[in-house]
Amino acid sequence: MNTEVKEMLLERAKSARKKAYTPYSNFQVGAALLTKNGKIYEGCNIENASYGLSNCAERTAIFKAVSEGEKEFEAIAVVADTLKPVPPCGACRQVISEFNPKMKVILGNLKGDVSEYTIDQLLPGAFSNEDFQSKEMK
């Protein structure tokens, strides 16, 4: 993936982060999701007084995109103010892998550190719709 696109996604994630609603953790995260046809959907984390209902930035971006009719994704960038590039939580890894097991995941922080993975590196052996099959198809 070319460096300009990567930089641009990280910038959009950084900008999305400013919209985070985080009165409980005060930990802001932004994400930017790139569709295969070149559109970008931003997301931020959104917390709730009932803590467990909080939604991560990554899932906000994906759910926004899917609700607009998008299902083909190429990459997601995630940014937070962390020492090392912010790792996505397990729930988000599972949701990312649903749509593209080869999705590129670009992780950053505000200092400019960047690391890049594919989702199958971050969640090897993910549960998928193929696991619904109860016996070998002959």
Binding mask 62-91 for ligand DUR (x = CB under 6 A): ----------------x-------x-xx--
Chain residues 4-23 in contact with ligand DUR, contact rule CB under 6 A: 22
Tell me: does residue 108 bind ligand DUR (CB under 6 A). Answer: no
Minimum CB distance to ligand DUR, residue 56 (Å): 3
Minimum CB distance to Zn ion, residue 124 (Å): 18
Do 21 and 45 touch, CB atoms closer than 8 A?
yes
Q: Are strands 73-80 and 40-44 parallel, antiparallel or unpaired?
A: unpaired
Say which of 58, 68, 70, 130 is annotated catalytic. Answer: 58
To the query of whether residue 58 is one of the catalytic residues in this protein, the response is yes
- N-to-C CA span, the chain: 39
Report how far residue 89's alpha carbon sits from residue 62's, in angstroms, rounded to the nearest whole number: 14
With a CB cutoff of 8 Å and minimum separation 6, the contacts of 54 are: 24, 25, 45, 46, 47, 48
Q: What does the binding site for ligand DUR look like in residue numbers (CB under 6 A)?
A: 22, 25, 27, 29, 45, 47, 54, 56-58, 78, 86, 88-89, 92
As annotated, the active-site residues are 58
